[in-house]
Structure 1
Amino acid sequence: MSVLDAKESNPREGGPSFPLKHRLFRAAWNLTWATLGRWTPVPLYGWRRFLLNSFGARISSKARVYPGTTIWYPPNLTMGDHSVIGPGVIVYDMDRIEIGDYAIISQRAHLCGGTHDPDDANFQLIPKPITIGAKAWVAAEAFVGPGVTIGEGAVLGARGVAVKSIAPWEIHGGNPAKLIRERKRF
């Protein structure tokens, strides 16, 4: 769903941020994922890929999605070859979230693809895309904010908070995330 689709309702009148059709789709997805996907045993990567792709995600046949994940809107999720979403990860993909080849999103990380307009009386949602570059690593319990790009080969350390983009082949950590050092290229 694009940013324009999110604004089909009239945000100035305090209407919902997403149209009814979109909300019904998400309800069907949440029911399907809760009953058939989220709890499944670890080795059933193919089954979880099948469910996600059936709901519009673009998941490589070589990607792995672990159980226990929360994925808000599958059509906005793209995963490259050998990419991984670990257990307990929250993918709040109000806008596109692209995870590159060999990228890893570790356990309980949070990819948050939207924010609110603090100057709007109704705090309307503002979707913003996230890009996780090839060979990047978002470590355990880290947070990637709306509109952020984690560059190719970059690392966001455990519990790090990225509210600004991270350049390729850099290691960042902390809250807010700060440069620790460059990463060896491979």
Structure 2
Amino acid sequence: MKHRVYHSTALRSQLDQYAQQLVVDSAELAKSYEWMLANEVVFEEGDVANPRVSICSVNIETRIDQPLARRFYALLRDELPTTLVPRYGINWPTFKDRWLRVWEQCYNILINKIPSHHVRLAWLRLGGAKIGKGSAVWRTTEILGVENLVIGDDSCIAWHCQVDARAGLIIGDHVAVASYAKIIAGSHDLTAPEFWSVSAPIYIDDYAWIATGALIGHGSRIGRGAVVTANTLVSKEIAPYKIVGGSGAKVMGERPHDLNYKVGGKGLFTLFY
């Protein structure tokens, strides 16, 4: 099973620090890491010298026989801004996950059309979303992975957006996401016959603006004050204050660095949005 979620780059270079956290010998942890690679607990991809490291996105902690590997997997898992998919069966994690999926589908089918910020936000928060003061999610926007959604203060996601937070979506303060934008934290391994899922958290920092129709792909980070112009595809890190657009999300300009405004997506004139 190779369903996986991105953790970090060049994890090997950090094994000494992890060994200190786990209070074990570095050589012992390095040996366990090799075992994890061989047994599809962690995965290395890309540049050999600086590989991208992912962990199994299905919570297999109880199935890991090697004790140190089990502890290391749990530590890596807990560093992610997401809840891993449970191993389905007759158990509490499965029941909880199924209930959350029903909860979010009720939101996407019915609740997200109710013209009341209070009702919609209350439903999302009860499902596990963390949404700050003055922030809003306007009507008809659909959300997956509600329990992994974090929105700061005074941020707004507008009409008809598709938000996939299943691998973790962290939105800062004063962020504006315009209508018909798509934020998708997951994809699939196109080279695998099994079509394994691959995912990575998305971070959108303070004062960023995602314009109409933009697509923010898994693993992206939109820096503070950055702008993604309309219909632009982003699947990488965008530096703070940069304005990007077109094919390859090329840099088109730069915003002022002293940004100081309120988005106001939950104000009087957006009362029924």
Q: TM-score, normalised by structure 2?
A: 0.60
Aligned equivalent of 2:219, options 147, 153, 164: 147
- How far did 1:175 drift? 2.6
Q: Is the 8 A contact 1:5 1:18 kept in 2?
A: no
Q: Is the 8 A contact 1:49 1:61 kept in 2?
A: no
Instruction: Output the CA distance in 1 between the equivalents of 2:229 and 2:152.
Output: 21
Mean Cα deviation higher: 145-154 or 23-32: 23-32
Instruction: Output the CA distance in 2 between the equivalents of 1:137 and 1:112.
Output: 16
Instruction: Output the CA distance in 1 between the equivalents of 2:192 and 2:56.
Output: 18
Instruction: Output the CA distance in 2 between the equivalents of 1:5 and 1:88.
Output: 32
- How far did 1:47 drift? 1.5
1:51 aligns with 2:123: yes
- The structure that is helix-richer by fraction is 2
Instruction: Output the CA distance in 1 between the equivalents of 2:56 and 2:112.
Output: 27
Instruction: Output the CA distance in 1 between the equivalents of 2:107 and 2:228.
Output: 32
Give the letter for the 1:113 counterpart: A
Instruction: Output the CA distance in 2 between the equivalents of 1:32 and 1:142.
Output: 23
1:38 aligns with 2:89: no
Q: Is the 8 A contact 1:149 1:165 kept in 2?
A: yes
Aligned equivalent of 2:195, options 98, 123, 126: 123
Aligned equivalent of 1:92, options 164, 170, 183: 164
What 5-or-longer segments of structure 2 have no aligned partner?
Answer: 6-54, 61-83, 89-93, 260-273
Give the letter for the 2:160 counterpart: G
Aligned-residue identity in percent: 31
For the aligned residue pairs, the C-alpha RMSD in angstroms reads 1.9
Instruction: Output the CA distance in 2 between the equivalents of 1:8 and 1:62.
Output: 35
What 5-or-longer segments of structure 1 have no aligned partner?
Answer: 10-16
Instruction: Output the CA distance in 2 between the equivalents of 1:120 and 1:82.
Output: 42
Q: Is the 8 A contact 1:46 1:61 kept in 2?
A: no
CA deviation map 1:45-70 (0-9, x unaligned): 12211010000000113111100001
SS in 2 for 1:172: strand
Instruction: Output the CA distance in 2 between the equivalents of 1:94 and 1:176.
Output: 25
Instruction: Output the CA distance in 2 between the equivalents of 1:155 and 1:24.
Output: 36
- How far did 1:98 drift? 0.8
Q: Is the 8 A contact 1:97 1:131 kept in 2?
A: yes
Q: Is the 8 A contact 2:104 2:143 kept in 1?
A: no
Instruction: Output the CA distance in 2 between the equivalents of 1:67 and 1:175.
Output: 30
Q: Larger C-alpha radius of gyration, 1 or 2?
A: 2
Instruction: Output the CA distance in 2 between the equivalents of 1:7 and 1:54.
Output: 24
1:172 aligns with 2:218: no
Give the letter for the 1:137 counterpart: W
Give the letter for the 1:7 counterpart: V
Mean Cα deviation higher: 143-152 or 90-99: 90-99
